[in-house]
Amino acid sequence: MKSYAPHARFIAPAQNSADLGRLIIGFALIEAAYYVSRHAFALILLLIGETLGPSDLEPSYEYGDTALGLLLQLFSFGFLALAVVAVVWVQHSRSGWTLFGDLRGYLRTLLLAAGACFAVFAALEFLPPFYSYDGGEFQLGRFALLPLSLLAILVQTGAEEIMYRGYLQQQFAARFASPVTWMIAPNLLFAFAHMDLSNDAVLSLQYVAWTFVFGLACSDLTARTGSLAAAMGFHFANNAYVFLFWAEEYTPDSGLALLLFPEWNGTTNPEAVPLIDLIFLSDLALPIVLWLAVRLAIRR
């Protein structure tokens, strides 16, 4: 495909170590290193909490319902990025910089992509239909944390892009020429990594499907540009909106929300959610709209 011509340069560094066995071992090593480092970090936080006295430091890190807890959780994705860079160096004999692709105009492309997505989110919030914000309270203290919050989200989304669109997409594409393989395989792994087994089964499957479509958009942007810049901006803007705009109090990942609503304590049993309905289809359309906005912004 002519539109994917930059992808050939993006995957070129992976050509010399494109065997599938090496990729499987590399993926397993990354997952193991990330698992161990995250749990070791949680243990350190638990020990710090016990040393300083009664503390919810470790639970808030796991749950993300306080500003400090969510910041620590997001920054802990740095362990994932370090694991990927280490495996690429040791297992594939190449620099971690090769994961990013073409660095020319990288920051500009990232900012254009993020700006296009933020424009879509602004339209969703400030154009009809209008939503009620009654009961929500602005968390003024969290506005002061915005620079740190944005940096933490950049670390989190950047690490995931390095892993799934950088390492996995490069290695799959270097081994298999068909876009069907190098787009679907990494994004199936990306989607199932976001499965929440503690949640309602239908909602969890819907989120997996949504994440898969989101990942396909990231892979397409990466292939069109020959770098992770557009995908990183796309991913960063989406997660900034999710983490920073609004949330319900005491819910997972609510620790940095600038507009906080009281926790819903309804006693009625919720109705069963169908696997596919209009609400889910409209949610599924969002990453597609964001993808189109980014393509218009970067002209690819």
Position 269 pLDDT exceeds 70: no
Helix (H) or strand (E) holding 297: helix 278-298
Give the phi and the psi of residue 77 in degrees, each rounded to 5: -65, -15
CA distance 239 to 197: 21
Sheet strand arrangement including 259-261 = 137-138, 259-261, 246-248
100-123 pLDDT, tens per residue? 999 999 999 999 999 999 999 999
Mean pLDDT, range 165-186, rounded to an integer: 97
Position 268 pLDDT exceeds 70: no
117-161 pLDDT, tens per residue? 999 999 988 887 777 777 888 999 999 999 999 999 999 999 999
Position 53 pLDDT exceeds 80: no
| Through-space distance between the first and last CA atoms of the chain, rounded to whole angstroms | 13
Residue 227 bridge partners (DSSP): 101
186-238 pLDDT, tens per residue? 999 999 999 987 788 888 999 999 999 999 999 999 999 999 999 999 999 99
CA distance 118 to 237: 6
Position 267 pLDDT exceeds 60: no
pTM (whole model) above 0.85: yes
Mean pLDDT, range 255-264, rounded to an integer: 91
pLDDT for residue 147:
97
Note whether 49 and 56 are within 8 A (CB): yes
Q: What is the DSSP string of 251-294?
A: STT-TT-SEEEPPP---SPPPPPPSS-HHHHHHHHHHHHHHHHH
Label each residue of 142-180 as H, E or C.
Answer: HHCCHHHHHHHHHHHHHHHHHHHHHHHHHHHHHHCCCHH
Give the pair of three-digit tokens for residue 224: 């069109």
pLDDT for residue 126:
82
